[in-house]
């Protein structure tokens, strides 16, 4: 599993405040802690209240890269904010994200080609989030076709079936899980698959339990990546164990520690 | 999920001793606790050291039925021990188990027809446990064909793909999970599927973590029943949450309590 740490996001109150006030140590601690906990990629999002998102993105990336050597997922709805970030990243970036709209894909895959990045592709379009696995698959196929047009490697696309909160869209859990399974068959090499995990437990009472249960189920269905809170130890334990069961790393009695030391 | 409580089994030291010494209260407490924790069925196994398994089975069933009104899974390799139990059960029984050997199936499905029971069918034969999903499916199909010959309802068969310990047969986790998915397609109505869950963690250090992770993954693949320790609260929490995600019971903030109160 490729773990994308979700915590550097201005929508979280502490992070939003740190961005506004240029509190470098807050961001750097979050970066170090997430990498130590097993994130191979860190999501970077200036947040909904950022007044100068390009400046904020630049400051975030420079703050993070000063303390950790890690890949970044540049998370913004604005292409110019993403491109500002792409000029600064030291490692291969992930663009978070495109959807299946033609105009959006042309901009994002254009940037991906120019800067040799990977791309998260959301299985949604102007009509919103689909409510069936079939519509999700159709949109994912649209994204893959466009990626191929732009010469992007099929395994450089991370298809996201769009997870919805279980308390308001309870029928969608099964649809998302089956979509993950079906996405894997769209190309050879298979695309990566990714979910914004925390969304499944939004507004629920036992968030960590719901998150780790859903992640475990998604891994059973072939999920290869997730945007999640890597500081949730029980979540990471569940992820490591699910991968153990699937023979992704070799059993030893101390398999949890062994994975973390890698 | 149909939860089959595994704790009344003479292979456990305390239970074996209780059977030998006719300690009724030990067995009755285990029965009451497992039903309270959510078992719809209790497995009953006199254990490997039972000198008079027919007498022991009779005593166990009478002890259990004196305190709880619950279905029993009569767990023995000996047909006469199972038939002794079938004469005594108050509710519809489950026979645990047949395998795919012709002679064994004829005896067990004969009993199942005579006593109107359900049957656990192990996807193994004289050659032992298969090491691929394909061979498991072949044996499961053999069992279903025989069940149909005997006029047993297809959903009265619980197909067991045979779970092996992850520390010694690490490639088999994926095979078992895929077999569960494939078993469900063997008939309409679909057969039930069942696993002896604790086997996956045999000899491992973090047994509860491995058990609940594997159960969650198996539920994602359509598992409908498991023989497990219902007193493992974290395991039951994971099971309830996995079923919640699949929309098997309706979300409310107190979904764990709500499920348990049912």
B65 class by beta-carbon count within 10 Å (0-12 exposed, 13-18 middle, 19+ buried): middle
Assess B197–A contact: CB distance below 8 Å, yes or no.
Answer: no
CA distance A204 to chain B (A): 6
Q: What is the pLDDT of residue A123?
A: 98
How far CA B192 is from CA of A184, B157, B195, B208, in Å, comes to 27, 6, 10, 24
Q: Provide the CATH number for the domain around residue B107.
A: 3.20.20.20
Q: What is the pLDDT of residue B117?
A: 98
Q: What is the pLDDT of residue A243?
A: 97
User: Which residues partner with A209 through β-bridges?
Assistant: none
The pLDDT tens digits of the residues spanning A154-171 come to: 999 999 999 999 999 999
pLDDT category at B256 given cuts 50, 70, 90 is very high
Res. B262: pLDDT tops 90: no
Name which of A220, A247, A251 is nearest B220 (Cβ-Cβ): A220
Q: What is the pLDDT of residue B172?
A: 96
Answer whether A189's CB lies under 8 Å from A212's CB: no
The two beta strands, B71-75 and B41-44, are parallel
Contacts of B71 by beta carbon, 8 Å cutoff, 6+ apart: B40, B41, B42, B89, B91, B92, B93, B94
The pLDDT tens digits of the residues spanning A43-73 come to: 999 999 999 999 999 999 999 999 999 999 9
CA distance A90 to chain B (A): 37
CA distance A152 to B186: 40
Number of Cα atoms under 13 Å in the Cβ half of residue B117 = 29
The pLDDT tens digits of the residues spanning B31-77 come to: 999 999 999 999 999 999 999 999 999 999 999 999 999 999 999 99
Beta strands (DSSP E) in B83-135 are: 94-98, 118-122
Assess A205–B contact: CB distance below 8 Å, yes or no.
Answer: yes
* Cα R_g (chain B), whole angstroms: 18
CA distance A246 to A71: 26
Taken in order A12, A13, A14, A16, the sign of the CA dihedral is positive
Task: Name residues of chain A where pLDDT drops below 50.
Answer: none
- What's the per-residue H, E or C state across chain A? CEEEECCCECCCHHHHHHHHHCCHHHHHHHHHHHHHCCCCEEEEECCCCCCCHHHHHHHHHHHHHCCCCCEEEEECCCHHHHHHHHCCCCCCCEEEEECCCHHHHHHHHHHHHHHCCEEEEECCECCECCCCHHHHHHHHHHHHHHHHHCCCCHHHEEEECCCCCCCCCCCHHHHHHHHHHHHCCCCCCCCEEEEEHHHHHCCCCCHHHHHHHHHHHHHHCCCCEEEECCCCHHHHHHHHHHHHHCCCCCCCCCHHHHHHHC
Res. B261: pLDDT tops 90: no
Contacts of B173 in chain A (CB under 8 A): 245-247
Name which of B217, B247, B254 is nearest A216 (Cβ-Cβ): B217
Mean pLDDT of B89-99: 98
User: Which residues partner with A9 through β-bridges?
Assistant: A45
The pLDDT tens digits of the residues spanning B186-216 come to: 999 999 999 999 999 999 999 999 999 999 9
Name which of B166, B241, B255 is nearest A245 (Cβ-Cβ): B166
Contact A173 B247 (CB under 8 A): yes
Range of the domain at A82: 2-260
CA distance B120 to chain A (A): 24
Domain total in chain B: 1
The H or E element containing residue B140 is helix B133-149
User: Which residues partner with B228 through β-bridges?
Assistant: B5
Q: At what angle do helices A13-21 and A24-36 cross, to 10 degrees?
A: 130
Q: What is the pLDDT of residue A262?
A: 80
Cα first-last separation, chain A: 13
Report helix, strand or coil for B121. strand
Answer whether A19's CB lies under 8 Å from A50's CB: yes
Q: Which one, of B140, B133, B207, B131, lies nearest residue B177 by Cα?
A: B133
Chain-centre distance for alpha carbon B36: 18
Assess A249–B contact: CB distance below 8 Å, yes or no.
Answer: no
The pLDDT tens digits of the residues spanning B130-187 come to: 999 999 999 999 999 999 999 999 999 999 999 999 999 999 999 999 999 999 999 9
How high does pLDDT run on average in chain B? 97
Answer whether A158's CB lies under 8 Å from A121's CB: yes
Angle at B165 between CA B164 and CA B170, to 5 degrees: 90
Q: Which one, of A92, A107, A144, A106, lies nearest residue A122 by Cα?
A: A144
Q: What is the pLDDT of residue A261?
A: 87
Assess B85–A contact: CB distance below 8 Å, yes or no.
Answer: no
Taken in order B166, B170, B172, B173, the sign of the CA dihedral is positive
What's the token pair of residue B200? 């996956």
Answer whether A3's CB lies under 8 Å from A41's CB: yes
CA distance B145 to A106: 55
């Amino acid at each position: 599993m490729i773990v994308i740490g979700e915590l550097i996001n201005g929508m979280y109150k502490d992070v939003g405040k740190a961005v506004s006030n240029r509190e470098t140590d807050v961001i750097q601690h979050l970066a170090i802690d997430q990498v130590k906990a097993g994130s191979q990629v860190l999501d970077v999002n200036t947040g909904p209240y950022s007044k100068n998102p390009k400046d904020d993105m630049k400051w975030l990336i420079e703050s993070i890269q000063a303390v950790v050597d890690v890949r970044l997922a540049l998370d913004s709805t604005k292409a110019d904010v993403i491109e500002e970030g792409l000029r600064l990243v030291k490692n291969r970036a992930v663009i978070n994200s495109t959807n299946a709209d033609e105009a959006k894909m042309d901009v994002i895959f254009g940037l991906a080609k120019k800067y040799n990045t990977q791309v998260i592709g959301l299985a949604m379009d102007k009509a919103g989030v689909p409510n069936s696995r079939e519509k999700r698959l159709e949109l994912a196929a649209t994204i893959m076709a466009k990626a191929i047009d732009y010469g992007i490697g099929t395994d450089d696309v991370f298809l996201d079936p769009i997870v919805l909160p279980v308390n308001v869209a309870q029928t969608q859990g099964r649809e998302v899980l089956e979509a993950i399974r079906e996405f894997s068959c769209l190309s050879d090499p298979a695309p990566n698959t990714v979910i914004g995990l925390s969304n499944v437990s939004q507004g629920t009472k036992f968030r960590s339990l719901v998150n780790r249960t859903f992640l475990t189920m998604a891994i059973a269905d072939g999920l290869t990546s997730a945007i999640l809170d890597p500081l949730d130890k029980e979540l990471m334990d569940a992820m490591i164990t699910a991968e153990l069961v699937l023979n992704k790393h070799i059993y030893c009695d101390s398999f949890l520690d062994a994975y973390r030391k890698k």
